[in-house]
Amino acid sequence: MLAQSPWLGPHMQFDRFKRRDFITLLGGAAVWPISARAQQAAMPVIGFLGANAASTDGHWVAAFVQRLRELGSVEGRNVAIDYRWAEGRNERSAEIAAEFARLKVDVIVTYGAPSIVAAKKATAVIPIVFASAGDPVGLGLVASLARPGGNITGLSNQGPDLAAKRIELLREVVSGLRTLAILVNISAPAAVQEMREVQAAAKMLGLEVATLEIRRVADIVPAFEGLKERAAALYVCTDPLVVTNRIRINILAVGARLPTMHGFREQVEAGGLMSYGANIPDLFRRAAEYVDKILRGMKPGNIPVEQPTKFDFVVSLITAKALGITVPPTLLARADEVIE
């Protein structure tokens, strides 16, 4: 069954009560007390800049912390983590990044283009590890995948590269698809890049495109109202604003009778129809390995950016039923997870 809370899923390693405690810890650690920092001054401090909120991304952080522990860095014992949450707001990401630079944390960990860009602008000295980025080279985050250069490195989620595959999956569910709507936060560089890939792929397939541009939460409802009945399916370009408001977006999509395609499984757990993309918890586990190398003395600019090795295709039969559509058995057989 669809989880009651968007971040609770079968992939988590903690039982329900431990998960709740973990999220409570993250939420309460929004500001690291100066006294606590002084008491643990001997420990390296990781500044964790969360693009969204603990309630949505807690299991990603759990994967990161668990892998750190496996590598010998135990939170509160020999490493401290200062959690801050931008809640999908670019200006908040900039504030947090500037604060981490002022506090001189030992390494900044973040994800999502707005937060990564904010961290890069805030410091050219403190090592930065991004756990997930769409196209690090195209966005100007690194010089190249093999030689990032500077003080930044991390992992690509290959988001824009998967646009054509996602459209093909939509076409298998929506027979005779002719018009595709694209929801995009036009102020997010990675989302704009993904939108362009979607538009190019749609053109190759002979599809008409209706683009719904948003910049803030208040734009979401008017975007759907302006769409009316001009499309038969909706492609949602991923960015922190969209992830933070995924439940609202999916409710509006179901109300408009639009099958949706997303980049992450969490968006399907929140009521979307399908998602296809990199396994994000796996990327966060691997990000912990980057941090471990940096804390042991390696320079981030010398650590190559890596690509995802695990991808998830998730389908919600609950949402399919609400939309009154039938997902072909052949498609369900290829899914990594079916929510029912």
**b/e sequence 51-84, b meaning 16+ C-beta within 10 Å:** bbbbbbbbbbbbbbbbbbeebebeeeeebbbbbb
User: Domains of the chain, with CATH numbers?
Assistant: 16-157+280-310 (3.40.50.2300), 160-278+312-339 (3.40.50.2300)
Average pLDDT, the chain: 88
Is 227 a residue whose pLDDT tops 80?
Answer: yes
pLDDT for res 185: 95
pLDDT tens digit string along 155-202?
999 877 899 999 999 999 998 999 999 999 998 888 999 999 999 999
pLDDT of residue 221: 96
Compute the average pLDDT of residues 276-292. 96
Q: How far does Cα 289 stand from its chain's mean position?
A: 19
Please write the tens of the pLDDT for every residue from 27-78.
444 444 544 444 445 799 999 999 988 888 899 999 999 999 999 999 999 9
pLDDT band at 306 (very low <50, low <70, confident <90, very high): very high
Q: What is the mean pLDDT of residues 87-91?
A: 88
132 contacts 278 by C-beta, under 8 angstroms = yes
Token pair of 77 as six digits: 């014992």
Tell me what percent of the residues of the chain surpass a pLDDT of 70: 88
The whole-number pLDDT of residue 230 equals 83
pLDDT reported for residue 268 = 96
pLDDT 10s digits, 99-142 = 999 999 999 999 988 899 999 999 999 999 999 998 899 889 99
Cα gap 262→162, rounded to integer Å: 11
User: What pLDDT was estimated at residue 11?
Assistant: 41
Instruction: Show the DSSP H helices in 71-136 as ranges.
Output: 90-103, 113-122
The label of the residue with tokens 């030992």 reads 106
- What is the predicted pLDDT for the residue at 16? 39
